[in-house]
Structure 1
Amino acid sequence: MSTERRRVRGVDYEQVSSDYLEHRQLRRGAAGWVLLAGLGVAYVISGDFAGWNFGLAEGGWGGLFIATVLMATMYTCMVFGLAELASALPVAGAGYGFARRALGPLGGFATGMAILIEYAIAPAAISVFIGGYIEALGLFGLTSGWPIYLACYAVFVGIHLYGVGEALRLMFAITAVALVALVVFVIAMAPKFEFANLFDIEPTGAAGANSFIPFGYAGVLGALVYGIWFFLAVEGVPLAAEEANDPERDMPRGIITAMTILLVTAALMLFIAPGGAGSSAIADSDNPLPEAIRSAFGGDTWVADFVNYVGLAGLVASFFSIVFAYSRQLFALSRAGYLALHS
């Protein structure tokens, strides 16, 4: 076999065998821009159901609001940049591929490994919230979440192994169900909204503390890691670039549409949930949306149960999609020779 310098969809692979890359390609045409937009929302939608509310305990509503605005601005700018890069360099490695092209092999390796760690850890965190929602419902008589964690990995890794097109379509359907749950939640909670509920956490003695930022300036910094939950992982859409129908058109439309939807859902959750139930009521909850409904309505209602049951779809969608993301990142790093996973 001869060796030569090759380019695959914009990325240089130096001195590889002539048939090496031909045997390591992903199936193109599995996703159009609608499925890509669904993938982008799926990555993140679990953050609307749980996780972000812990920012209320760190910074109060005002601190979390400031943190969310900063994260929204950062992610919106990043998404426009990724839309341009993904259409110009449609490679499975996405951020890794962009960094390798700009910074060389070492920069590409560092970026790729950082992304791989992010996507390997995120499903573990999401599975904890899935377990929390199931325990809150009393399903299967479970008092511990570990059987749920195991089942999630076994089922959803198996679906990905079956086929990417099937996995993306199933993710899209699950995400659509999760969005329905968010709409029902907003409709049910909107009549209960009161501005005073947003600021029901008592100010502390911290520097700069007041009713808007009860934990002071430090609380705003503490809330940053929770404000990012509304958007974290949407940057994974370009990982599907090699499998898009028309990357030059589909990638920008898909990721920008996804970010637009996420901005709307972030704003609704940030205002409606604490505004209806009170910030203090959901600050430490691992299933905040059902908890918010029960607090606002004074007990169990069918809406709380509906959001709890269907809300599992949002957590499952993010778990499912991020498994897809790290499989593509692992594939890209392996194909480039950074990981010894190929023969």
Structure 2
Amino acid sequence: MNELIGIDGPVVYALFYAAFIGIHLFGVGEALKVMMVISGLAVLAIILTAVALIGHFDASNLFDIAPATAEATELLPFGWYGVWAALPFAMWLFLAVEGVPLAAEEAKNPAKDVPKGIIGAMVFLLVTAALVVFLLAGAAGSELIGASAVPLVDALKVTNNPTIATLVNMLGLAGLIASFFSIVYGYSRLVFALSRAGYLPKSLSLTSKNKVPSRALIVPGIFGFAVSLTGEGDLILAMAVVGATVSYALMSLSHILLRVKQPNLERPYRTPGGVVTSGISLILSLVALTGVYAFDPSAFYMTFGLFVIVGVYYGLYSRNNLVASSAEEEFAMLSVAEQELNTDVG
């Protein structure tokens, strides 16, 4: 397609980065509205696929992969090692849902709205993930879907739905765009918060006349564009899973420590199950983390190499430039800053 319109990959990447960052530079309200529309188109693609495939579902197609080893079974054709190595792919069905709290300042009542939003998002992702995993394999066969680069489209083609396949192929781009769009929003808010706290250079938290952290949008975007030129998409995705699972583990551990050390702290929302739930989350996060090693050891080691570099940066620079002497003081300052950042959102 790129050749037909006379432009190559890097130009396309640059145009998308410029367009998405440009929309965010207009203001968070505009960005979130666009992201909502794009996400709706991606959901439509899943719904159309489910409607077209449900009549072709055959449970026997779920088990059409021959066992690869003597120890493997029809249910687990690659054994438990296959389950372990598949965890990074499973993570991508839910990756970035933790970004919902980043919109806390845009919510009218964060204490109630954010828990509702993240729980609703997780339930929705569970339903759509189940539809994709079971319906596609049940209609087209696990072997075909496992080898496919575009599983929704291939499943529709195999079941004689070429028109819907073409439509879903186009709508599927909306899903990629929605992910990209949400990542741009997420990294800008994270970089802004880390900069205001002193962990990153303070210049990155400067805001524009639209109350937008412009440098926190542009500078990481330049780095992202440079990485996209490497062509190592699979490696980058695997490294993203490592980073995500580490963050999930640290969030779970932080929740446990907070409940133990400050049991009487005022909590507008209390996690069902308390530390038991967080303990299970911590274990699952660590298991999922090691799954990347089974799939791509190089991604595992390279990500931890980046963690070491960041750790050295913190030790040599950041810890001497923090703007707060305690976590409570830091949270209070960030809360004020983020409220100022989003005063243009109505």
TM-score, normalised relative to structure 1 = 0.56
Change in 2 beyond 3 A, CA 1:244/1:147: same
Give distance in 1, aligned partners of 2:5 and 2:131: 33
Give distance in 2, aligned partners of 1:181 and 1:163: 28
Change in 2 beyond 3 A, CA 1:293/1:139: farther
Kindly state the Cα deviation for residue 295 of structure 1 after the two structures are TM-superposed: 2.0
Structure 1: which 4+ aligned runs deviate by more than 6 Å?
A: none
Residue 332 (structure 1) aligned with residue 202 (structure 2): no
- The partner residue of 2:123 within 260, 283, 288 is 260
Letter in 1 for 2:197: A
Q: What 5-or-longer segments of structure 2 have no aligned partner?
A: 207-346
Kindly state the Cα deviation for residue 143 of structure 1 after the two structures are TM-superposed: 9.5
User: Are 1:281 and 1:295, in contact at CA under 8 Å, matched by a contact in 2?
Assistant: no
Q: What 5-or-longer segments of structure 1 have no aligned partner?
A: 1-134
Counterpart for residue 169 of structure 1: 33
Q: What is the RMSD of the two structures over their aligned residues, measured on CA atoms? A: 2.0
Counterpart for residue 322 of structure 1: 183
Counterpart for residue 278 of structure 2: none
Give distance in 2, aligned partners of 1:143 and 1:275: 39
Kindly state the Cα deviation for residue 284 of structure 1 after the two structures are TM-superposed: 2.8
Counterpart for residue 217 of structure 2: none
Give distance in 2, aligned partners of 1:144 and 1:186: 34
Letter in 1 for 2:170: Y
Counterpart for residue 171 of structure 2: 310
Kindly state the Cα deviation for residue 199 of structure 1 after the two structures are TM-superposed: 1.2
Change in 2 beyond 3 A, CA 1:223/1:196: same
Change in 2 beyond 3 A, CA 1:201/1:144: farther
Kindly state the Cα deviation for residue 338 of structure 1 after the two structures are TM-superposed: 0.8
Counterpart for residue 193 of structure 1: 57
Kindly state the Cα deviation for residue 165 of structure 1 after the two structures are TM-superposed: 0.2
Letter in 1 for 2:55: P
How big is each residue's C-alpha offset from its partner over 1:197-226, in whole Å with a ceiling of 9 and x where there is no partner?
1111111116x3011111111111111111
Kindly state the Cα deviation for residue 258 of structure 1 after the two structures are TM-superposed: 1.0
Counterpart for residue 134 of structure 2: 271
How big is each residue's C-alpha offset from its partner over 1:260-313, in whole Å with a ceiling of 9 and x where there is no partner?
11111011111101111111112132221101111222xx71110010011111
Q: Tell me, what secondary structure is at the counterpart of 2:12? A: helix
How big is each residue's C-alpha offset from its partner over 1:61-101, in whole Å with a ceiling of 9 and x where there is no partner?
xxxxxxxxxxxxxxxxxxxxxxxxxxxxxxxxxxxxxxxxx
Change in 2 beyond 3 A, CA 1:257/1:158: same
Q: Identical aligned pairs, as a percentage? A: 50
Residue 240 (structure 1) aligned with residue 103 (structure 2): yes
Q: Tell me, what secondary structure is at the counterpart of 1:230? A: coil
Counterpart for residue 63 of structure 1: none
Give distance in 1, aligned partners of 2:7 and 2:84: 34
Range 275-284 or range 316-325, more displaced: 275-284
Change in 2 beyond 3 A, CA 1:317/1:219: same
Counterpart for residue 66 of structure 1: none
Counterparts in 2 of 1:224-235, with a 5 A limit? Answer: 224-235=87-98
How big is each residue's C-alpha offset from its partner over 1:291-338, in whole Å with a ceiling of 9 and x where there is no partner?
1111222xx711100100111111111110111001100000000011
Give distance in 2, aligned partners of 1:219 and 1:197: 18
Which of structures 1 and 2 has the larger relative contact order (alpha carbons within 8 angstroms, sep 6+)?
1
Q: Tell me, what secondary structure is at the counterpart of 2:39? A: helix
Change in 2 beyond 3 A, CA 1:146/1:272: farther
Tell me how many residue pairs correspond in the alignment: 204
